[in-house]
Homo-oligomer: A and B are copies of this chain.
């Protein structure tokens, strides 16, 4: 992938606002792709300095020190902090995007007419490397010129860039919460239970990989198996008895009920 260039043929100058998981991975990928990450802003200077050092940028914790000559400003802070930050920024030049799944693009209107979104559909942890080129990125922007810049920057780091309006992006985000956050939470119960059995999650790796392959190939409904799918109430009740009272047992009950209902056993 070629680095993103401005219409004048120079590397895109980027300011990153935020230094959390998403900001870190985006700044790293942009830096690697030849963009010029000029500055990192964070309301705690230590976070700004850490990320800035990684990508050869300046660091600031002061809103009024944010560079005014960048091409692209990426706001990557917690969802609830985006709108207050936009209000605090006031009118600015350049193209402004946020990276949130669920926040409308228009919360950036107080800053500029050239606003948009660059939403990477991935889970980021600071210290786990991610191959950004395979991460689907969804973009939108308020003007064609802004969209062109955002798309060009997105394509410089990912092979899969498509457009999604705020409504579609929210649906993508919700589906990702089910598929990633909730799924991962269920795996944490597996880990607890496996610990009692003297085993690690790795013993379930072939099982999980086949489950995913089946879900991708034929859909999760066609591939569903297990006691609740079979309507095997005896096994379900033996499992409930074996689980200590608490969240694992409650979720086992609730999710089994959900599957039993879906497959018309209750």
Binding site for B on A (CB under 8 A): 21, 78-80, 101-102, 121-125, 128, 130-131, 134-136, 164, 168, 170-191, 193-194, 196-199, 201-230, 232, 234-235, 238-239, 242-243, 247-248, 251-252, 254-255, 258-259, 261-262
Contacts and interface: CB of A to CB of B under 8 A. Distances in A.
Nearest to A185: B259
Contacts of A178: 186-187, 189-190, 193, 248, 252
A263 B54 CA distance: 29
Nearest to A242: B170
A264 to B, nearest CB: 14
A239 B125 contact: no
Interface of A: prevailing SS: helix
A247 B254 CA distance: 11
A215 B243 contact: no
Nearest to A184: B220
Nearest to A125: B223
A225 B181 contact: yes
Given A174-B243, A178-B189, 10 more contacts: A21-B225, A121-B203, A123-B226, A128-B210, A177-B226, A180-B208, A180-B211, A185-B224, A185-B259, A251-B258
